[in-house]
Structure 1
């Protein structure tokens, strides 16, 4: 091998082992299966040294599929000074007629596709960003578990023809009313008490996670972006933190349409010849960020207005960011009413509003500059 050639190495990662294959950067070269290695830092470091000694002067390019094992292999290889790429399994080209799948074939195919530049690497968050994302997802899971427990208790009351006259559900008065219920059978009474206890514990769990998320986000390097995004209507702290934690650095998108496509809010299309057919949204990319945007888009069904809470969130922000948020509110409120009057379905309208919301969030993030030592919120020289 020449001095400045590149060696493409495909890794099929698993919990306990890694299947390794490589291919040289030469015309007509075929992938070579190296074998199976333990999935540990010592083994991967030894593997990299073997390639360096066998191919002196070559640049090592590693690639593996994103999966449940996380990004520790990417971070470890990059810390050693090697190039590493993580690709999404859904974006790997596959032949329709290929019905044989093995770890050996996957590793060889990854190396071959990396050489031919047919793979699209994904964005790998920093460890701090991933930690904020984990606690944001934990809050979302806790909220879902709480809703499931409430639905189970409501279903039990409905089966027994028990109705509550207290309008404020799950308030202190409502929980007190639940504890005073007496069901006809002792076994049902035990189920009722367990359900009440489960709901109480999950409410406290959700409160703890929300409190911890708010405390950690304020010390996060992307907190200036989270604070600036809250200038928009329908985007509070938890929604803003969740969107930024899921999407990461928004400045890596040079156009808002790419960000819309990344969160799966663009229409699918199947056009051929002179016919053009657009279908439902693609729902590709990050589903959690898309759900948060849909949640915030519901607030634009009302007329444009700066509420007291929104004004408090905008205090201390630059004038340019507040103007972008106001322009977004004017446009999205008008667009919502216009689409409703056209007879569009409510879900279609909300999705269209969410698609434009992410464009304004992108524009606001372009106005924020993050300093590495002390993050401050200030105007950027890059126009939105």
Structure 2
């Protein structure tokens, strides 16, 4: 290696520290404002040299990585939580310069906890999947607000509140003016969210029908078009995981455990992973527990021991392991754009 660099990125400025491994010279710089043009101007001094750079997978990493690749640099994306953990518990000064040096040193000794950098088309697909997931979440939040207003004024809870029949029932209710305004605003917001999410949902469904990896995932009972495209976008190249258990941990579906000597207390789901991926797997598990499903027996056995909700989570982990092996067997073809 000729030059090894660590980059500590923030919205206002980027702090860089690099080491020339041939001369031993250390250089430092601060790029402010942290915009694409300023980063490009800073990196031009390294054009034509062999450069390896590490930066954390925080908001804004994509354009910095693109500019690094433009000067033929080798980019390493660090996982933020594990990178911070490797600083240790000893109290010491934490500055932007120290963070940049920490990244550079971890990269040099081969201990940088790296995150996978997806290809550009998969990053765009992931952004679209997460956008739809956010819109659907917000729709559910507004629906819960309506249920809360109704309960506050003594009306019974109704499932399927947004069907035509229940909407007519809502409009006929005698509510105080303040409550009526809350319901009206919530329904308006839900209609607006539906208008935004409908074309995205349609586009994702069409993509899933044409994309090789999605079509392979949909062969598993319970995984449909939307869940398949979400699993593909969030899981990505499964060959980067050494086993299916690591994929489960990546999804945040693993169970936390606290053990000391003879005491061992199982906890809750770690939830340290993409929320959209957990949503897709749980939705697929709910479909896969239906009578007639090949996994119905597995679900019944788990439900007898754990209850229905935890059995669904166990089935979600099983579907994730199947998806892991399916995409792994396809290799590079699994991620080809439709």
CA contact (8 A) 1:23 1:112 kept: no
Render the CA deviation track for 1:122-167: whole Å, top value 9, x for unaligned: 1112222111111211111111111111111122122222347x86
Return closer, same or farther for 1:114/1:80 CA change in 2, 3 Å cut-off. same
Residue 287 (str. 1) matches residue 275 (str. 2): yes
| Post-superposition offset of 1:217 | 4.7
In structure 2, what is the equivalent of residue 232 of structure 1? Answer: 220
| Post-superposition offset of 1:95 | 1.8
In structure 2, what is the equivalent of residue 312 of structure 1? Answer: none
Return closer, same or farther for 1:182/1:334 CA change in 2, 3 Å cut-off. closer
- Let me know the Cα RMSD of the aligned residues: 3.0
Return closer, same or farther for 1:49/1:232 CA change in 2, 3 Å cut-off. same
| Post-superposition offset of 1:11 | 0.7
Rg bigger for which structure?
A: 1
In structure 1, what is the equivalent of residue 8 of structure 2? Answer: 12
In 2, the alpha carbon distance for the partners of 1:43 and 1:375 equals 32
CA contact (8 A) 1:33 1:108 kept: no
Comparing 123-132 and 361-370, the one that deviates more = 361-370
In 1, the alpha carbon distance for the partners of 2:172 and 2:257 equals 57
In structure 2, what is the equivalent of residue 213 of structure 1? Answer: 204
Residue 112 (str. 1) matches residue 105 (str. 2): yes
| Post-superposition offset of 1:242 | 0.8
In structure 2, what is the equivalent of residue 135 of structure 1? Answer: 128
CA contact (8 A) 2:149 2:179 kept: no
Return closer, same or farther for 1:366/1:21 CA change in 2, 3 Å cut-off. closer
Structure 1: gaps (5+ residues): 306-328, 377-384
In structure 2, what is the equivalent of residue 266 of structure 1? Answer: 254
Return closer, same or farther for 1:361/1:278 CA change in 2, 3 Å cut-off. farther
In structure 2, what is the equivalent of residue 50 of structure 1? Answer: 45
| Post-superposition offset of 1:168 | 4.9
TM-score using structure 1 length: 0.76
In 1, the alpha carbon distance for the partners of 2:170 and 2:271 equals 40
In 2, the alpha carbon distance for the partners of 1:203 and 1:47 equals 44
Residue 153 (str. 1) matches residue 140 (str. 2): no
In structure 2, what is the equivalent of residue 348 of structure 1? Answer: 310
In 2, the alpha carbon distance for the partners of 1:334 and 1:287 equals 27
| Post-superposition offset of 1:244 | 0.8
Return closer, same or farther for 1:375/1:158 CA change in 2, 3 Å cut-off. closer
Render the CA deviation track for 1:301-336: whole Å, top value 9, x for unaligned: 34444xxxxxxxxxxxxxxxxxxxxxxx3xx43332
| Post-superposition offset of 1:114 | 1.0
Return closer, same or farther for 1:106/1:254 CA change in 2, 3 Å cut-off. closer
Pick from 315, 320, 323 the counterpart of residue 361 of structure 1. 323
CA contact (8 A) 1:132 1:217 kept: no
In 1, the alpha carbon distance for the partners of 2:197 and 2:243 equals 36
In 2, the alpha carbon distance for the partners of 1:290 and 1:156 equals 30
Structure 2: gaps (5+ residues): none
Comparing 115-124 and 210-219, the one that deviates more = 210-219
SS of the residue 2:266 aligns to? strand
SS of the residue 2:5 aligns to? strand
In 2, the alpha carbon distance for the partners of 1:182 and 1:153 equals 14
| Post-superposition offset of 1:300 | 3.8
CA contact (8 A) 1:300 1:333 kept: yes
CA contact (8 A) 1:229 1:235 kept: yes
In structure 2, what is the equivalent of residue 325 of structure 1? Answer: none
- The residue correspondences of 1:191-340 to structure 2 (distance < 5 A) are 191-217=182-208, 223-269=211-257, 277=264, 279-280=266-267, 281-305=269-293, 329=294, 332-340=295-303
In 1, the alpha carbon distance for the partners of 2:160 and 2:258 equals 48
Return closer, same or farther for 1:297/1:276 CA change in 2, 3 Å cut-off. farther
Render the CA deviation track for 1:88-110: whole Å, top value 9, x for unaligned: 11111122123421111111111
| Post-superposition offset of 1:230 | 1.0
SS of the residue 1:36 aligns to? strand
| Post-superposition offset of 1:367 | 4.3
Comparing 236-245 and 257-266, the one that deviates more = 257-266
Aligned residues: 333
